[in-house]
Structure 1
Amino acid sequence: MSFLLKRIVKNDAMKTDPEEIYGWRVYLLACSACFGAMSFGWDSGVIGGVINLESFKEAYGLNGKENSVAVANLSGNIVSVLQAGCFVGALAAYPLTDAYGRRYCLMGAALLTLVGVVMQAAASGHLEPMYIGRFVSGLGVGTSSVINPIYVTENAPRAIRGLLTGMYQLFIVTGGMIAFWGNYSVSVHLSGAKQYIVPLSVQGLPAFLLFFLMAICNESPRYLARKDRWEEAKAVLTRIRNLPPDHPYLLDEFQEIADQLEYERRLMGDATFWTLQKEMWTVKTNRKRAILSIGLMIAQQMTGTNAINTYAPQIFQNLGITGTSNSLLSTGVYGIVKVVACALFLLFMADSLGRRRSLLTSSVGQAFCMFYIGLYVRISPPVENAPVPGAGYFALVCVFIFAAFFQFGWGPACWILVSEIPAARLRPMNVALASATQWLFNFVVARAVPNMLATVGDHGYGTYLIFGSFCVIMFFFVWFCIPETKGVSLEHMDQLFGVPEHEHKDMTGGAKSPVARVEIEEHPSRSDTKSV
């Protein structure tokens, strides 16, 4: 495994760090936590197809409405209530994970998701339990969306931190792909209420796996250190790094954790929620990182990706694909494209090309696709029962290309950045803030898109032009504001974001290691990034 990684991942940390740290344990930890991400992808994929099934429309009153806007409102409400729950769950995650730890909170989030799934499957045509079930599932999904990246980041070796943290996005798209193909299967092989009850029930599988696997995983060593459980922290770090306790690499990493905690405690003392809030917003470097995290998550949602994820069947129909089964089949292919593209990004780009260049490339590709689709629908809108022209097929291909470009940058890179750039004591709060922002704008997009497709021009062409314009804006946001973080250890993000070296040294009472010095010197142009 280490030999293969060295051929694929190109950064200085990979060249110098011992091969033993890339053992199976660190991958098991990352995959176990990422089943929380799969819950979100699975749910988004399921509900987007389910609301287009005739049996579901009949049961929940989506069939008998002549007004397309009224149908769009009801569909938007059913879909977006999950995101509302995710927003609340993300805000609640910070105090919970700080008090009870990453592992136990992920297990609690899994239980909440399962309760919500049971309520959705048992709703039997009643909107009230459907709304409540989706909200409760959202609480679990939103909570895990905060804790999952933190847990993986705090366990990951620095050289492959991008790969492992980015698996969050890979599990999202894998869950979506499975759900897309599940929807297609039930549309072909089942009828009646089973068509929607089966996919709504099966979406609880990732939450079950999350609970079971986290029950056998360890707590984050950095969390244990923060709670002064030093012996446990060292034992966990020794086990997941697969090194003897006296190995120089392990001693250096453990010392870096201790030095960073000492520095933060001397800076802020015994912190409370309000003192941490003060530190986040009054200290320039922390404020910069918090605003960048918020900006990244707003931008991620304004690409329009979750509009396509959730309403893909309807979008394919708007582009000329006729029949529910055909649109669901196209959605299944869309899911495969996303999974393959995300896997390629994590293997070949996250820790080699880096976060910054990936975001820039992704912005350009997504903007082109959205503009082409919007202009095609505006100039040559699909005609019912007429064959799809060549330009129309290219518009369909652009949906798949858009998905690939999103996975090459804005999908996984955002989660990697928001979980690695904060100071250790502010990481849970920063990720909670970023995740809550993501869910808030996810909610806005999920609620608005059905109405946009129904009202913003024929076949909703203006929807694509709006999202394409946001992609252009995002290019300039990344160009001027986002530094490169690949290969930089978590304990040296302060220097990258502008904390003077002598101040950090004075506070910790120690000097930086040669490895740390090389990492900072490799990014001199980004260490003076302008304040946001």
Structure 2
Amino acid sequence: MTFTIRGTPIGWLTIFIAVLASMGGFLFGWDTGQISGLIEMDDFKERFAQGPPGEKDWNVWIEGVIVSLLSVGTAIGVMCGAPIADWLGRRWAMTVECVVFSIGVIIQVTSFTAWYQVAIGRLVTGLGVGALSAAVPLYQSETVPRQVRGALVGTYQLFITFGILLAYCTNIGTRDYNNSGQWRVPIALGIFFAAILGVGILFCPESPRWLAARGRNEEAYRACAAVRGAKYGDGNPWVEAEYQDIIAAVKRDEHLGQASWIECFHRPNKTLYRTLLGMALQAGQQLTGANYFFYFGVSIFRSTGLSDSFVTQIILGAVNFFCTFLGLYNMERFGRRKPLVFGALWMSFWLFVFAIAGIVGGPTEDEISPGVGKLLIVAACLFILGYASTWAPGIWIFVGETFSLRTRARQAALATLSNWTWNFLIGFFSSPIASDIHFAYGFVFAGCNLANAVIAYFFVYETADLSLEAIDDMYNDPTCKPWKSSDWVPAGYESRDQIKNKDEGQAAEVGEWSKSPSAIPGEQEKNKANPLQVA
């Protein structure tokens, strides 16, 4: 079954692949969202917090360790994820990583009074989540057609927000349990969600680019056909064109051998440029300040005069989730650069409002009036609107489509390592910093967002509507500057609009070419030639 976007056939399998693989993002969101509520639950605090029975409360450093060790695990996991994804393939790598995640969940739910066992369990789940964060965007960007790549790769971020929201809702549903089910149930549910991804992904096709890079050309062609909803060997022009682009890119790199980590820092082909830019943007995504609210939202709004701070977090989570749909639209409608620039400026403004309102309304959280508390929540919601509709999906799309085929897995891993490193730093240090400077912490993130806007304007290239191979060519064009990259087009085109509007005309031209027996796998097999061999 197929449907059409911009005159281009897309198979329903494409949607299924994007949604299922995005469960890797859901697992991260689930762990991120649940911990802010768990540390406020009575049974969890009584078992793992410090102080005399009945009066226990968190030492800010131990709280930081429990919250942030997930990010330590993800930082390690993402570095393992790249070679695993290259070795086993994108699909089997995700299955193995779901098993690792589940082991971490088991460690957590079998804890009784040792806070460090919970922390170790979060470390292990982080290994799985981090490795998934390397494999999932790669698999999505390498598999889905370019006409829907931005929106479908962005579903990874959408599912992060969905995981956060569902974790908030689960926390509020279990917090009134009078036993350890308060926190064991939300944690244990992670195994169920991991099983959906770990088992389901094995029924999807492997990345055609990964297959072609290993000489498995016939399987690569079948994968291209599957996501287009086409039959194998029927000469579908879209399948033929995409397959030929993949083979050409593979042949261009095959004489270079296996890429090493050090090659990610080589200057030729703007490899170093792209590696450092990816790391800077992933760090910038964390330094927007979003996870400050997601990790510590319950604590931040506990004393603002609102009746239920758990409900406040659900409001923030719902804004984050539903505004991510706007983000998917923005990335397709306005490209990549403009949303990143204007989104950073929008977030900076509302963080200034948040910080000023907090400082004027009272130097500490305990002195905030109900009126100021409501203003804080409005500012936080409008900040999250900007984050969810720009930087949240935009950076994962950047990682999925910017790097060249040969070094893509390793460069994506290094960029994502930067994300998890800063995620850890924010998770670990936010509690003690906020306890000292309180709402002035918002000024730090507001300044970081101003820096993000500058980086996005001067260094990010516009990649919308281009194939992964054309994106690589754009970066290698010495005449193309980031702020003018929206006008860059592959040979044979005059504008990006022409790429979008003339897809049907291109299909007709490719259709004539594809009638050649040498381009159709079925004919090659009849002629007993090497399947899908390209001269």
TM-score, structure 1 length as denominator? 0.87
1:66 to 1:414, Cα distance in 2 relative to 1, 3 A: farther
Q: Which residue of 2 aligns with 1:256?
A: 245
Aligned-CA RMSD value: 2.5
Alpha-carbon distance, 1:279 to partner: 5.8
Q: Which residue of 2 aligns with 1:305?
A: 290
Distance (whole Å) between structure 2 residues aligned to residue 42 and residue 116 of structure 1:
14
- Are 2:47 and 2:113, in contact at CA under 8 Å, matched by a contact in 1? yes
1:375 to 1:69, Cα distance in 2 relative to 1, 3 A: farther
- Are 2:162 and 2:321, in contact at CA under 8 Å, matched by a contact in 1? yes
Q: Give deviations 1:345-387, integer Å, cap 9, x for gaps.
A: 21x2111111111111211121111111111111111775985
Q: Is it true that 1:105 corresponds to 2:93 in the alignment?
A: yes
Alpha-carbon distance, 1:499 to partner: 3.6
Q: Which residue of 2 aligns with 1:486?
A: 464
Alpha-carbon distance, 1:125 to partner: 2.1
Q: Is it true that 1:340 corresponds to 2:322 in the alignment?
A: yes
Please point out which of 270, 273, 290 is paired with 2:275.
290
1:296 to 1:519, Cα distance in 2 relative to 1, 3 A: same
Q: Which residue of 2 aligns with 1:431?
A: 412
Identity percentage of aligned residues: 27
Q: Which residue of 2 aligns with 1:77?
A: 65
1:206 to 1:321, Cα distance in 2 relative to 1, 3 A: same
Please point out which of 159, 172, 193 is paired with 1:184.
172
Alignment of 1:137-216 (within 5 A): 137-188=125-176, 190-216=177-203
- Are 1:40 and 1:141, in contact at CA under 8 Å, matched by a contact in 2? yes
SS where residue 133 of structure 1 aligns?
Answer: helix
Q: Which residue of 1 aligns with 2:506?
A: none
Code of the residue aligned with 2:180 in structure 1: it is A
Code of the residue aligned with 1:430 in structure 2: it is Q
Please point out which of 71, 79, 104 is paired with 1:116.
104
Alpha-carbon distance, 1:474 to partner: 0.9
SS where residue 431 of structure 2 aligns?
Answer: helix
Alpha-carbon distance, 1:137 to partner: 0.4
1:71 to 1:265, Cα distance in 2 relative to 1, 3 A: same
- Are 1:46 and 1:203, in contact at CA under 8 Å, matched by a contact in 2? no
1:65 to 1:359, Cα distance in 2 relative to 1, 3 A: farther
Q: Which residue of 2 aligns with 1:358?
A: 339
Q: Give deviations 1:495-522, integer Å, cap 9, x for gaps.
A: 2213469xxxxxxxxxx7636x755998
Q: Is it true that 1:222 corresponds to 2:204 in the alignment?
A: no
- Are 2:45 and 2:58, in contact at CA under 8 Å, matched by a contact in 1? no
Q: Which residue of 2 aligns with 1:463?
A: 441
When the two structures are aligned, how many residues end up with a matched partner? 487
Please point out which of 356, 359, 366 is paired with 1:378.
359
1:140 to 1:182, Cα distance in 2 relative to 1, 3 A: same
Q: Which residue of 1 aligns with 2:236?
A: 247
Alpha-carbon distance, 1:425 to partner: 1.0
SS where residue 149 of structure 2 aligns?
Answer: helix
- Are 1:369 and 1:402, in contact at CA under 8 Å, matched by a contact in 2? yes
Q: Give deviations 1:260-282, integer Å, cap 9, x for gaps.
A: 1111224xx223425xx236423
Alpha-carbon distance, 1:243 to partner: 2.3
TM-score, structure 2 length as denominator? 0.86
Alpha-carbon distance, 1:473 to partner: 1.2
Q: Which residue of 2 aligns with 1:273?
A: 260
Distance (whole Å) between structure 1 residues aligned to residue 267 and residue 35 of structure 2:
42
Code of the residue aligned with 2:384 in structure 1: it is A
Q: Which residue of 1 aligns with 2:19?
A: 31
Code of the residue aligned with 2:149 in structure 1: it is R
Q: Which residue of 2 aligns with 1:9?
A: none
Distance (whole Å) between structure 1 residues aligned to residue 53 and residue 197 of structure 2:
40
Code of the residue aligned with 1:192 in structure 2: it is N
SS where residue 354 of structure 1 aligns?
Answer: coil
Please point out which of 101, 108, 119 is paired with 1:131.
119
SS where residue 411 of structure 1 aligns?
Answer: helix
1:374 to 1:281, Cα distance in 2 relative to 1, 3 A: same
Distance (whole Å) between structure 1 residues aligned to residue 229 and residue 242 of structure 2:
13
1:69 to 1:263, Cα distance in 2 relative to 1, 3 A: farther
